[in-house]
Amino acid sequence: MSTNPLVRVHQFLRTYRKDTVLTILLLAASVAVELATPGLLQRIIDQGIATKDAAFIATTTALIILLAVLEAVATIGNTFFAVRVSQSIAADLRLQLFGKIEKFSFGNLDRFQTGQLVVRLTSDVNIIQMMITMGLRMFIRAPLLISGSIFLLVTTNPELARVALLLLPLTLILAIAFVWKAQPLFLGVQRRLDKLNTVLQENLAGVRLVKAFVRMDREAERFGKANEDLTAQFIKVVTLFSVLFPTMLLIVNLSILSVVWFGGLQAMAGRFTVGEIIAFTNYLLLCIFPLLFLAMIAGQVSAATASAQRIYDVIDSDPQVQNSPGARPIGEVKGRIRFEGVCFSYSGDCSEPALKDINLTAEPGQTIAILGATGSGKSSLVNLIPRFYDVQRGRVTIDGVDVRDVTLESLRSIVGITTRS
């Protein structure tokens, strides 16, 4: 199994192989048309306008319009199938995540709080879905455009291509630096969103207690602090984007300026035509602007990597309480429950136990009330019977059978629980 969470997400593409292949084919057709257009514009200028050949201009213009229509159709198809694939994968992820949460024991739910799980099921999955959509539309499109444009630049004028592409390595370095810097920032955003949602969920669930104990100001302060932390982290992300894109646009403008300057000198010397300058400038834009999109996608990839890691943290977590090897159905019971030397702690050992040396017998038909202050372990005691938690020492038995020796499904089917609303 791959350790890269995004690679694991992309394995879902195998399920939708046909739609994915069709998406890529439509994308390739769109790129081919886009790369052919500057050459046709060059021919209109150099062979049509320069020689005043109206018929050639009309024919070539009609061909450009036809290609534009084909590109539009291919782009629409690519977008449709890309969205269908990404939404299907998002639905599969939500189902897998929800199914895993349903199998969690109480110990797992103590680790992953409700607000955190809600963010993973909604925000994190949506970020991955957006990344897949952008990937199938732009992440593949950009390398095709860049490689095709560089080839056409070199074949059009190798000397001018060396000048125009001089700043390309700098652009790549900026994109790599952006990815390296952005990923921890996006992970920080999701963690702070977790905290905000947890505070919100706790307040909504316990709003009656908050009002009863006049804790509104305290809870407002907690929410305000979480909200400020999230806002500050978002500002860091936006600041990074605000620096990156103007810098890359500056590189684009400098590249175009170099083409116009050196290309103009060659044109005046008779070694370059106006049509070639126009075509060369278009190829340069087709080469550099995809780098801007790659930088934007890099941000999506950074956010999606953080979200995928958070999702697989949940999916890869095993339920703390599982069927023991050789567990069997409990069968018919009389209902005699015994706690024998039970020690239980939420930390996983009995160094700070919630329950210690509990010995208790409940005979069939008995009604037993367990009284104690808040936090004294009443709920913890009851939760050990259906194995919502497991004891660290001692055992709980029903009719002399250790509850760990029977299947969870059969055990919980004979235990009735009434919760307080």
- Among candidates 263, 242, 257, 243, which has minimal Cα distance to 288? 257
Q: What is the pLDDT of residue 412?
A: 84
Q: What is the pLDDT of residue 88?
A: 93
Q: What is the pLDDT of residue 69?
A: 94
What does the pLDDT profile of the chain (421 residues) look like in tens digits? Answer: 446 777 788 788 888 989 999 999 999 999 999 888 888 888 888 888 877 888 888 998 999 999 999 999 999 999 999 999 999 999 999 998 998 888 887 777 777 777 778 878 888 898 889 888 888 887 788 888 888 888 888 887 777 777 777 767 777 777 777 767 776 787 788 778 778 877 877 777 677 777 777 778 888 888 888 889 889 988 988 888 788 778 877 877 787 787 778 777 777 777 777 887 888 888 888 887 777 777 667 767 777 887 888 888 888 888 888 888 888 888 888 888 898 888 988 877 777 788 888 888 888 888 888 887 777 788 888 888 888 888 888 889 988 888 898 898 888 888 887 766 4
Go through the domains of the chain in sequence order and give each one's CATH number.
5-315 (1.20.1560.10), 337-413 (3.40.50.300)
pTM above threshold 0.85: no
Q: What is the pLDDT of residue 419?
A: 67
The C-alpha torsion from 281 through 283 and 284 to 287, rounded to 10°, is 160
Q: What is the pLDDT of residue 82?
A: 92
Beta bridge partners of 360: 339
SS3 sequence of the chain: CCCCHHHHHHHHHHHHHHHHHHHHHHHHHHHHHHHHHHHHHHHHHHHHHCCCCHHHHHHHHHHHHHHHHHHHHHHHHHHHHHHHHHHHHHHHHHHHHHHHHHHCCHHHHHHCCHHHHHHHHHHHHHHHHHHHHHHHHHHCHHHHHHHHHHHHHHHHCHHHHHHHHHHHHHHHHHHHHHHHHHHHHHHHHHHHHHHHHHHHHHHHHCHHHHHHCCCHHHHHHHHHHHHHHHHHHHHHHHHHHHHHHHHHHHHHHHHHHHHHHHHHHHHHCCCCCHHHHHHHHHHHHHHHHHHHHHHHHHHHHHHHHHHHHHHHHHHCCCCCCCCCCCCECCCCCCCCEEEEEEEECCCCCCCCCCEEEEEEEECCCCCCCCCCCCCCCHHHHHHCCCCCCCCCEEEEEECCEEHHHECHHHHHHCCCCCCCC
